[in-house]
Every structure is written in C-alpha cells, then in structure tokens.
Structure 1
C-alpha cells in the first residue's frame, strides 16, 4: 500500500475518460509483474486515476488509461470489446458508511499481494485507487481496478481482459 502526498486530480466518476492510445503518464505508484515469455504487465496509479501497460520484450502491446483530463479520450464506457481486448465498468453510489466499509475491505483484500497496487490519497482514508491482476497467462491477462470518491460516495470499478496473441499492436 502506498500513502500518497498529492491530491487526486479526478474527483467524480463521471469525469473519467478512457483511451487505448499510448499516453505517457508519470505514475505515483506502480507494480510490474513478469508473466514469462517476455510478457510484462505494469499497473500504475496516476493522480488522475490509472494506467495499465502490457509489453512483450519491452515492446508495448497495449496501453489502457482511465483518467480525467485526457482530451483525446472518450468517456469511460460501460462496455467495450475489440481485437482481443474487453473492458467493463460500473459506477456504484453508496452512503458514506458503506463506501468506507467497501474501501477498507478492498485495501485489506489486496494488501500484500505482489500482483496489485493500492494507493491512498490524502484528505480521506477512503480515497483509494487500486489495481490487481486477476488472471495471468500468455493466452489471456485480466485485471480489475477500483477508484473511490468519498466526496460523492462513488466507487468506479473496471474489469479488463486482454488476449495478447490476438493483437499485433494496439
């Protein structure tokens, strides 16, 4: 778990944008996981949300960025599938107690995992961005992300799966 000393840049779920374009972002916290055969997944927390990059032998195969303030991106879709990549997202609005409980459970579940990254933003103990790998393999990789917004009572969750062999380059 990483305790950040910068405020988060996104403050509501409806400000999140999504793109598969290779956008250079400076992570506040990240974790790289090697899957064998030169395949690496890097999970990164940004000040404005998250980025996942899949590489084979240092050659980028996929960039997934969900963040606010990306001009060339589209609104975060509820579902998208194309070329070996699929994304689903869901926004839940909770009362403050339920959000606090869910955020605490999430942190507890992911804490200590070597295939996850969890970051707390200052100002509220339940302002969290977390990413975790769900399925690892050369045929398919999947990951989940969670973005909590205590000020609006929202948790934005995404689930992504990617089949590297189906795509030459995204």
Structure 2
C-alpha cells in the first residue's frame, strides 16, 4: 500500500482494476477497502475520509452518530450499476460519462492537480492518484463544504477509451444529524 498523507498526487503502485467506465458499480454499504491512497479530515466535527482504490474510490463521512460509506468501484461487493442519480435521506449522488480527446484528457488531469492542491490547502480532504503506465489514468476526489452541506466530486479517467466518469455527491448537514 502506498498511502501518502498530505501528498497532492499519489503515484499508485498497481494498475487500476476497473478498465472501463461501464465496469463501475455503486454502493452505500460495501465493506471498507484498504486504500492505495487516502486523505482524512474533519469539517465542523464531521470526519471525511477520501480513499483511492485500485478499483476506484470510497468516501466515508461520519458525524459520530451516522456513517455514510459511498463506494464507486469494480468490486464483488458493489453489484449495483452506477446510477445517473440516486437520492436517500439528505444524500444525493449523480454520475455521468464524458468523452475526451487526448488533449482534453491532459488538460483535465492538469486542472485536477491544481484543484486537489487548492482544496487540500483550504482544509478539505482531497486526493488524486495516478495509475502506472499512463499519466492521464487518474482518479481524483475533491471535497468541499458549506454551512448547509458537505460535497465531493470525483473523476475517473480512462484514457485508453477516451472516457471520464464524473460523480458528484452531496450530504445535507441536517440529514447527518437527523
């Protein structure tokens, strides 16, 4: 495992397990996975852990009374297909797949590195991992917060197919304490 707390970009030691966008699944109750890289932080008493997996990502949000564990991955415990939208008691998830040329993918990866660095500097757990073999094969997670909600955005790039899976998740703070 190559956890690198505080590192802006983690160079991951394994090839990614999900090799195309259509292999990703979604779960809120998959078991915790051993991350290849992670960043943990606290936002107003709520713990946020963003984790990169060889099979994509997990984000764990815990306020001490309630825990949400979002997993978007290619794993046996994650059998539900990746939904375009999902909503459940104050939690909202959305995903989409975009096409990108090699130049667009390179620009996106550069922008993600900047965004991850900025969010880490502002105290929001964020991480980007580069998989071996292609500098544009990345997974990035950026968390943000406001007085009303905690949100995170992820990007899973598949340069060999020209696909980018983008997810957005929002937890309304009142729902965490309800």
Q: Shared topology, TM-score over 0.5?
A: yes
Deviations 1:81-123 (A, max 9, x none): 1211101111011222221221222223323542211111100
Partner of 1:88: 94
Partner of 2:174: 165
Q: Check the 8 A contact 1:17/1:70 in 2, yes or no.
A: no
Partner of 1:125: 135
Deviations 1:37-59 (A, max 9, x none): x31110000110000001123x5
Unaligned runs of 5+ in 1: none
Q: CA deviation at 1:60?
A: 4.9
Partner of 2:5: none
Q: Check the 8 A contact 1:35/1:136 in 2, yes or no.
A: no
| Cα distance, 1:22–1:72 mapped onto 2, change above 3 Å | closer
Cα distance in structure 2, aligned partners of 1:167 and 1:113: 22
Partner of 2:28: 20
Aligned pairs, number: 166
1:75 lines up with 2:73 in the alignment = no
| Among 30, 55, 69, the residue aligned to 2:62 | 55
Q: CA deviation at 1:136?
A: 4.3
Give matches, 1:148-159, under 5 Å: 148-159=157-168
Deviations 1:115-170 (A, max 9, x none): 21111110000111000112244x4211100001111111100010012432569x
Q: Check the 8 A contact 2:66/2:177 in 1, yes or no.
A: no
Return the TM-score normalized by structure 1: 0.89
Cα distance in structure 2, aligned partners of 1:70 and 1:5: 21
Unaligned runs of 5+ in 2: 1-8
Cα distance in structure 1, aligned partners of 2:150 and 2:171: 5
Cα distance in structure 2, aligned partners of 1:65 and 1:154: 19
| Cα RMSD, aligned residues only | 1.8
